Amino acid sequence: MLTNSPGSPSHGQHLDGDMLNEVLEKLSEIARAANNGDFVFRGEPKQYEEISSGLYREYRKQLGPFGLRGFDLRHVQEEILEDAGTFVGDVDPHDLLSQLQHFGLPTNLIDFTTDYLIALYFACSSEMREDGRIILLEGARAPLYKMRSPENRIKAQKSVFVNPREGTITPDKIVLIPCQLKFPILYYLMRNHDISDRTIFDDIHGFIRNANIHRSAYVEFHMGRLHMTQENPQVALRHFDNSIAMNGARAPSYVNRGLAYFMLGRYDEAISDFTRAIELDPNEADLFLKRGLARYNNEQTELADEDLSEAIRLDPQLVDAYEVRAMTRADLNDSQGAIEDLDHTVRLDPKRKTAFNSRGLAHWITGNRQSALNDFDKAIELDPTNPIPHFNRGNFLFQEQRFNEAIENYTTLIEIGEGDIASTYFRRGMAQLVLQRVEEARADLRTALSIEPEVASRLFDSSEGVRDLLKNPEGSEKLPQDLIDMLMPSERD
């Protein structure tokens, strides 16, 4: 029975074009297999040895070497029904058997559905590293049972049941579902046919049974979360891999694995997982923020800016999105746009110290000197031991030729003992030189070079201050040769 056709996807643009074509071709393959026949369908997430009932598997395990050939499991099932019937009133035996099956008791029934899309969901919703399959069975070849008064979940799954004498069936046709297509198919089913965990398991009994089926996946997921809190992303990654392999249709699994990849600097893989999470939950602003940050770290600045703008559109109060977008806009030479985003950031969070430091840099670039100094001062007020605003304030004051104040900043930074200490000593030494404090300058430059021998090369390339000192003929003549040697990287190379 073919109750759905592939059709044209209404949201197909969320899948890559080639992948969407593969999904639609697989759906067409199932439709062709079911053509000219009255078939029912069963989805299995891996290539099991047999297509069998739960009761068959239970007895095969118990009987072991005796085997089940010639053993009529329907007699066992009749005994189960007699016992179960003592707990209920006048219920049709097939209805009772169907309820026992759906509530987890091993019976000789094998679940099928009249809707191949629902079978496809079951073939793809777990065992993500294994190829799944769709079983096609000609309805006329086996007695099919339907509940007269089906529960919600049986209705949702369009369930029918086969009751084979020996507990196994031979399929009429099988369609293979490659593991790499499982997630795209799940996404397609959710977006185009509203088929997902929530609609397939749409009552409390379904939730309980689904939770039991995937409880190992939940354990793996929370073990991964535990290792993330202990800053052990490599171990966490293995647990998230296992969770996704067992139950690949949950956005939180992809989000957390993406965070593990991010912590390991594996940004391409982080972006891929955040993208899958977005496909499962496209209205969650925080997912766009996370992917935007991963793209920014992966030097995909324009794509990062697009993600962060979408995060802000979805949640205008998402303060982190404004602050990170300010970084992308600064990199895109949009200093004014960065300032506007940082204005939003401090408006939403007046104690966001990093935002004041970043806005100070943006004001400095745009020539708004007093605003830059005010923001550096505010960042230091909020976090006096943070080396970054001290360093930036010192460099700003050096450029403004306020050398004594710059030296005070550099000295504070050295006392804090964090950050780029070699550069701090080197810059303080240059400020001392400008003020004709030769011995202090010599001590600072020697200390800087002892910490990092290449610091002069690094700062010569990036600092106009060093070049200005050496380009001034008068100034150079007044400098002792050993100081010139320390300032000139070419003399030491």
pLDDT reported for residue 191: 79
Query: What span, in angstroms and rounded, lies between the C-alpha atoms of 301 and 232?
Result: 28
pLDDT reported for residue 335: 93
Q: Where are the domains of the chain?
A: 12-212, 420-493
Query: What span, in angstroms and rounded, lies between the C-alpha atoms of 29 and 176?
Result: 10
Q: Which two tokens stand for residue 391?
A: 């360093």
Choice among 56-70, 170-184, 241-255, 430-444 with the minimum mean pLDDT: 56-70
pLDDT reported for residue 356: 96
| Cβ–Cβ < 8 Å for 220, 115 | no
Q: Is the pLDDT of residue 129 over 90?
A: no
Pairing of strands 159-162, 173-177: unpaired
List, for residues 346-368, the tens digit of each pLDDT value: 999 999 999 999 999 999 999 99
Q: What is the mean pLDDT of residues 371-396?
A: 94
Q: Is the pLDDT of residue 180 over 80?
A: yes
Q: Is the pLDDT of residue 394 over 60?
A: yes
Q: What is the mean pLDDT of the chain?
A: 83
Q: Which two tokens stand for residue 6?
A: 């592939």
* E strand map for 49-120: 51-52, 110-113
Q: In 47-140, which ranges are continuous DSSP H helix?
A: 54-63, 73-85, 93-102, 116-124
Q: Name residue 87's amino acid.
A: F
pLDDT reported for residue 12: 36
Query: What span, in angstroms and rounded, lies between the C-alpha atoms of 48 and 54?
Result: 13
Which of 272-281, 310-319, 475-484 reaches the highest mean pLDDT? Answer: 310-319
